[in-house]
Structure 1
Amino acid sequence: MAKTQLNVRVDEGTARAARERASARGMSVNRYIEELVRQDTGEAGHTFVEAAADFMKRYEQVFAEEAGETRR
């Protein structure tokens, strides 16, 4: 996968924290930030699936009745 350069500005405390966290994990700051973004975008997808599952569970009976099926 091709890499694209992305420049961001953060305060010194945030930069220091990023360096420390990356170092503690044995990775570069670049890799650390990349992992955070991947986790965040993956989490959004996971949250959506959970919300959809909850919606279906809550309204399962309504859908079943509309389809002509009654379930317990």
Structure 2
Amino acid sequence: MAKTQLNVRVDEGTAKAARERALARGVSVNRYIEELVMQDTGEAGRTFVEAAADFMKQYESVFAEEFGEPHGSDTSDKTEGRH
């Protein structure tokens, strides 16, 4: 994967903390920052999925009324020609 250079300005305390944390983990500051961003975007993704699941649970009856039984329901006795 191609790398892109990203320049950021942070206060000295933040820069020192980043260097120390990277050293403690045995990675470069670049890798440390990259891992933090990947972790943050992963958490955002999980948060979205959890919120979507909560929404679906709250409105399950509305969706069932509008669109019928959810996938995976036992509809074999309701479906003509299936046994």
Q: Tell me the TM-score normalised to structure 1 length.
A: 0.88
Aligned pairs for 1:21-32 within 5 A:
21-32=21-32
Indicate the structure (1 or 2) with the bigger Cα radius of gyration. 2
Q: After TM superposition, give the deviation of residue 43 of structure 1 in Å.
A: 1.2
Question: 1:50 and 2:50 equivalent?
Answer: yes
Say yes or no: does 1:36 pair with 2:36.
yes
Q: CA deviation at 1:68?
A: 4.4
Q: Which moved more, 1:3-12 or 1:60-69?
A: 60-69
Residues 14-38 of structure 1 show CA distances to partners (whole Å, capped at 9, x for unaligned) of 0011011111111010000000011
Superposition misfits of 4+ residues, deviation over 6 angstroms: none
Aligned alpha-carbon RMSD (Å): 1.1
Q: Sequence identity of aligned pairs in percent?
A: 88
Q: Which amino acid aligns with 1:17?
A: A
Instruction: Point out which structure has higher relative CO (alpha carbons under 8 A, 6+ apart).
Output: 1
Q: Which runs of 5+ in 1 are unaligned?
A: none
Matching residue's letter, 1:61: S
Paired residues, what number? 69
Indicate the structure with greater helix content: 1
